[in-house]
Amino acid sequence: MNIPPFLFTQTHHTQTVELNVRSKKAIDEATSLTCTLYDPNNQAIESITINNSHTFKHTFIIENPQLWWPIGYGEQPLYTVDVELYTGNQSIDHTSYSIGLRTVKLNRDNDGDASKFEFIINDTPVFIKGTNMIIEDAILTQSRRYSLTAQIKDCVRANINCIRVWEAPTTRQTFSLICAINTVF
């Protein structure tokens, strides 16, 4: 038995963020699942355990959240959600998710001359310096090895803060984590 995939959503309020966590599938009746949220300084905020065959669904309340910002706009603090699956007292699977708390909106208001196309991160307009990326594995004739982390770091060195990906590079979770760590959204 493995940990089912998890989905995360964020609801932002003035001084708090609700981090909504849910599993896509139920866990087996003979297992229990523990989910712990850590702040960017690795201090536990809250831990919850469910037993039996329920899907996991919980809302963590984060007081005075540290927000994630793209390169050039601030820091990139990441919260961690650790998930552990148990049979009895024995851990049988473990995974971690890193999450940057942020709001992202697309402003398409009509400003008179034409419609805007402006990204708003944490209520701040962000000048997008973006690129398109086609992952090399998606090109059938390519066979060389590459480092996704190195490619994203190259983008950061070029002051790129947004990447549009044409093919799934690996799991969405892995790609998002590499981007979050390297200040790209």
92, 94, 93, 60: which is closest to 79 by C-alpha? 60
Average pLDDT, the chain: 83
Give the separation between CA 65 and CA 53, rounded to whole angstroms.
32
Residue 22: what pLDDT? 87
**Which pLDDT score is estimated for 174?**
65
Q: At what angle do helices 148-157 and 172-181 cross, to 10 degrees?
A: 40
CA angle, 184 then 58 then 175, to 5°:
20
In this structure, what are the phi and psi dihedrals at residue 141, rounded to the nearest 5 degrees? Answer: -80, -10
pTM of the model: 0.81
pLDDT of residue 184: 64
pLDDT of residue 142: 55
pLDDT band, very low/low/confident/very high, at 157 (cuts 50, 70, 90): confident
How would residue 181 be classed by pLDDT, with cut points 50, 70 and 90?
low
Residue (of 4, 17, 98, 93) closest to 57 by Cα position: 4
